Chains A and B, each alone.
Chain A
Amino acid sequence: MSAASLSHALPGLARRRRPLWIALAGAAALVVVLVLGVAAGSVAVAPADTLGILGSRLLGLDLARTWSAAAETIVIELRLPRVLTAMVVGLGLAVAGATFQGLLRNPLADPYVLGTASGAALGAAIAVVLPVRAVVLEFGLLHGLAFAGALGAVLLVYRLSRVGGLAPLTSLLLTGYAVGSLLAAGLAMAMFVSGAGLRQIFAYLLGGFDAASWLRLATATPLILVASVAILARARALNGLLLGEEAAAHLGVDVRRERAIMLALASLATAAAVAVSGLIGFVGLVVPHVVRLLVGPNARLVLPLSALLGASLMVVADLAARLLGDIPVGVVTAVVGAPFFLAILRRARAGYEL
């Protein structure tokens, strides 16, 4: 289907009623994948029992116990934090992706575009290589350095981009690329000297939710949710930027300020996500495009719907990874995401002049 016939299939009126249905479908999907994600695994728990355990523990319902204590432990201590972590990470990456794409006015942007991925990876690799082991509240050096690396990289990119003579956006993207390359060299060096730690670094680079726990979830969730809600509250600025920085300024957006704030928020959400899950690609790139194809470019719709879809998708990706014999989640999202992204690009050539 060409771009022209696609837009005829989505006339203005139909588009306007769509978001509500999509939101409801997304919420329903979220509940379904929650139950599926908790029920499935190496030890299968019947969906009815899963619902019973969730109902009695989360909602405080007084239900007849038809399940074993072991099943309850598996569901509550292992699977539930894992599934919820996948949801929160998927939500954060999708919202951050939509934000970076809008801020940088670039359909190819993703949460990792300004160096967060390489910064986090280098931080994690350094943690593996260092002969120091420290654990505070279930958080090892790896999580801490990955988080710090992601934020540090973005800060560096932002600072460096402001000194060049280029237009701010071009400068940001190019600086992000340059800093990313430099950090990747550091990562390669760390991997080279890592010896037995190499496998651990690889596991981080490919991403996954094996290490999910309630405490880690409780730390990452507030960061990601607060950043996402704060971004949503600034959807107006993101909409203005659709027409360009100068046009946005004419429409009442304080571009410099809004850009700095939203870059910080999206980077924070990304850093929290990669610290608990490693580097999982394509969710932050593809999900916002799928949502835009359904409801148009309005950030007020794109952000919350991306959050819903990103959360569901990540749980499904994790489920697939587990059922395929515990392969890394990042492999699943890349294998599914890349062809999907190509298909979307074919359908809707992204940018154009007006």
Chain B
Amino acid sequence: MIRLAGVTVAYRGRAVLSDLDLEIGAGERVALIGPNGAGKSTLLRVVAGIVPPLVGRVELGGQPVERLGRTAVARRLAVVPQGVTLPFAATVEEIVGLGRLPHEDPFRGHRPADRAAVAAAIERVGLGHLLGRDARELSLGERQLVLVALAVAQAAPVLLLDEPTVHLDLRHQVEVMELLADLNERDGTTILAVLHDLSLAAHFFGRLVALDRGRIVADGPPAEVLSPDLVQDVFGVAPGFVRLAAG
């Protein structure tokens, strides 16, 4: 589904990603971990075609991402951003409705099918009771769910998330994770999520990809990736700080 081959990205002469190879199959659920500045967000941008690689190939569903137009990419891949600001007041329904942009008719706007998809997405993340609510009145956890609902309404086979649980309390963290697991297992959505919480990543994701200084340093099941050596080397903390949840 997603294939990166020999990808190098540089900002002002400094390599952010170096000669990176990564393959993620359809229906996989992958967590991207690594310290701040490792290049995780850049990797998501490269996959989404927002940042073109200096060298290397990026393919989405077998096609080079730079050849797909923006709308074609948006139909294949949805991104939950790391938090957004709105210049004007908007309701939950209006925000989630923006997820239909890549599908809507350029002149007529939302058709009944779009409205149904929006309502279903809001229901799916459990915010049905907040449909017409001004987004300002929502808690941080609810706002994060609104952004996930927006991506769900986009109905793309691939979902990218950049730290979807940051700022959330434990209950909302688990709620978001369970939602991702459900999207992955029931709908077959391919998921690639940047996560800081290693325990959460290990518990909800079967495959972890560890990134350090622009290179993939480990790729595999949590027990393998989160070895004491890696935790020490990559995150620079004593291995005892990371405990894998049982199961």
Q: Are B87 and A107 in contact (CB under 8 A)?
A: yes
- Tell me which of B67-75, B168-176, B190-198, B222-230 binds A: B67-75
Stretch binding the partner chain, chosen from B3-11, B104-112, B205-213, B233-241: B104-112
Determine whether A168 belongs to the interface, using a CB cutoff of 8 Å to chain B.
Answer: no
With A246-B81, A253-B70 already in contact, the answer to whether A3 and B89 are too (CB < 8 A) is yes
Q: What mask results when residues 204 to 235 of chain A are scored 1 for a CB within 8 Å of chain B, else 0?
A: 00000000000000000000000000000101
Contact present for B86 and A352 (CB under 8 Å): yes
A235 to B109, CA, bound (A): 9
B95 within 8 A of A: yes
Asked whether, in the complex, the Cβ of A249 is within 8 Å of the Cβ of B70, the reply is yes
Q: Are A351 and B102 in contact (CB under 8 A)?
A: no
Q: Mark B74-103, 1 if CB is under 8 A from A, else 0.
A: 110111010111111111011101110110
Given contacts A250-B79, A251-B98, contact A242 B86 (CB under 8 A): yes
Q: Is the CB–CB distance between B98 and A246 below 8 Å?
A: no
If A297-B89, A354-B84 touch, does A252 touch B94 (CB 8 Å cutoff)?
Answer: no
A289 to chain B, nearest CB (A): 8
A106 touches B99 (CB 8 A): no
How many Å lie between the Cα of A341 and that of B136 in the bound state?
21
Write the chain A residue with the least CB distance to B78. A250
In contact, A254 and B70 (Cβ under 8 angstroms): yes
Contacts of B133 in A (CB 8 A): 7
List which A233-281 residues lie within 8 A (CB) of chain B: 233, 235-236, 239-240, 242-244, 246-247, 249-254
Chain B interface residue number, banded: 35 or more
Secondary structure type dominating chain B contacts:
mixed
Taking the closest CB of chain A, its distance from the CB of B165, in whole angstroms, is 16
Min CB distance A279 to B, Å, is: 25
Produce 1/0 per residue, A278-320, CB < 8 A to B: 0000000000000010001110100000000000000000000
How far apart are A255's CB and chain B's nearest CB, in angstroms? 8
**Cα A351 to Cα B74 with chains together (Å):** 26
* A148 located at the interface, meaning its Cβ lies under 8 Å from any Cβ of chain B in the complex: no
Looking at the assembled complex, report how far the CB atom of B147 sits from the nearest CB atom of chain A, in whole angstroms.
7
Distance in angstroms from B235 CB to nearest chain A CB is 27
Q: Mark B142-169, 1 if CB is under 8 A from A, else 0.
A: 0100110010001000000000000000
A295 to chain B, nearest CB (A): 10
Nearest-Cβ distance from residue B150 to partner chain A, whole angstroms: 8
Are the CB atoms of B94 and A298 closer together than 8 Å? yes
**Residue A12 lies at the interface, judged by CB distance under 8 Å to chain B:** yes
How distant is A230 from chain B, measured CB to nearest CB, in Å? 12
Task: Say yes or no: A250-B48 contact (C-beta < 8 A), given A15-B132, A107-B87, A297-B89.
Answer: yes
Chain B residues near A107 (CB, 8 Å)?
Answer: 87-88
Q: Is the CB of B83 within 8 A of A4?
A: no
Instruction: Point out the residues of chain A lying under 8 angstroms from B244, CB to CB.
Output: none
Q: What per-residue 1/0 map shows which CB atoms of A89-124 lie under 8 Å from chain B?
A: 000000000000110011100000000000000000
Answer whether A252 and B86 are a contact pair too, CB < 8 Å, given A13-B132, A354-B146: no
Cβ contact within 8 Å between A251 and B99: yes
Are the C-beta atoms of A7 and B50 separated by less than 8 Å? no
Is there an interface contact between B81 and A251, defined as CB atoms closer than 8 Å?
no
**B135 in contact (CB, < 8 A):** yes
Query: Which residues of chain B have a CB within 8 Å of any CB of chain A?
Result: 48, 50, 69-75, 77-79, 81, 83-91, 93-95, 97-99, 101-102, 104, 106-107, 109, 131-137, 143, 146-147, 150, 154
**25 pairs from A and B in contact (CB 8 Å cutoff):** A3-B134, A3-B136, A7-B91, A12-B132, A105-B87, A106-B87, A236-B109, A242-B86, A243-B98, A243-B150, A244-B84, A251-B98, A251-B99, A252-B73, A252-B74, A252-B75, A252-B101, A297-B90, A298-B109, A350-B88, A351-B87, A352-B86, A352-B89, A352-B136, A354-B83
Beyond known contacts A249-B48, A252-B69, A296-B94: 4 more, CB 8 A cutoff: A7-B91, A15-B91, A243-B95, A250-B79
Which A positions have Cβ atoms within 8 angstroms of B?
A: 3-4, 6-7, 10-13, 15, 101-102, 105-107, 233, 235-236, 239-240, 242-244, 246-247, 249-254, 292, 296-298, 300, 348-354
Which 6 A-B residue pairings sit nearest by Cβ, starting from the closest? A12-B132, A252-B74, A7-B134, A252-B71, A252-B102, A11-B132
